[in-house]
Amino acid sequence: MKSGGLGRRPQIVSSVLGNSNTEGVSVFVVSDLHTDYAENLKWVECLSNVEHKNDVLLVAGDVAETCSMFVVTMSLLKERFEHVFYVPGNHDLWCRREGQNYVDSLEKLNKLLDACERIGVETNPTVIDEIGIIPLFSWYHESFDKEKDITGFRIPSFGDGM
């Protein structure tokens, strides 16, 4: 097991999918699963076990507040998707429900990244079917965005066709 998640920023690695799916890979994005809530965990459990075997899921933070629920959730997702990517959200790093398990949020972050490695969840830049996926460990505020909104482009809901 590698030590430490911070400072671990390797090169982009090509990834070859071992399938001949002519429809190509679909990339889904989800955030704020908050599976500490039973109904949210149920939603994850109900995601298809067969529909997304070739697909990519980007998990954009706030999976759960405890490491144990994080592992349960990410394992369920990895069983359902060929590739699962993860970037941390603020709730994932909270320690208030972890007892004495972690000195601070940075220690917890390293544990979460180690868990991702064990489960097969990806946290490093990777190319899948010519799509570069670059997980960034940083936070965003809408005030950072000075560009005009993109309009006339419909992104289907995650629940469509699930």
Q: Which residues bind Mn ion (CB under 5 A)?
A: 32, 62
Q: Which residue is nearest to Mn ion (CB)?
A: 62
Q: Which is nearer to Mn ion, 32 or 79 (CB)?
A: 32
Partners of 127 in the β-ladder: 14, 132
Minimum Å gap between C-beta 33 and Mn ion is 9
Minimum Å gap between C-beta 89 and Mn ion is 6
Q: Which is nearer to Mn ion, 86 or 128 (CB)?
A: 86
Q: Which is nearer to Mn ion, 62 or 65 (CB)?
A: 62
Angle at the Cα of 132 from the Cα atoms of 131 and 136, rounded to 5 degrees:
140
Q: Which is nearer to Mn ion, 82 or 92 (CB)?
A: 92
Write out the DSSP string of 87-103: E--TGGG--TTSTTS-S
The residues, any chain, with a CB within 8 Å of residue 75's CB and separated by 6 or more, are 119
Minimum Å gap between C-beta 71 and Mn ion is 19
Neighbours of 1 (CB within 10 A): 5
Minimum Å gap between C-beta 64 and Mn ion is 11
Do the beta carbons of residue 61 and residue 88 sit within 8 Å? yes
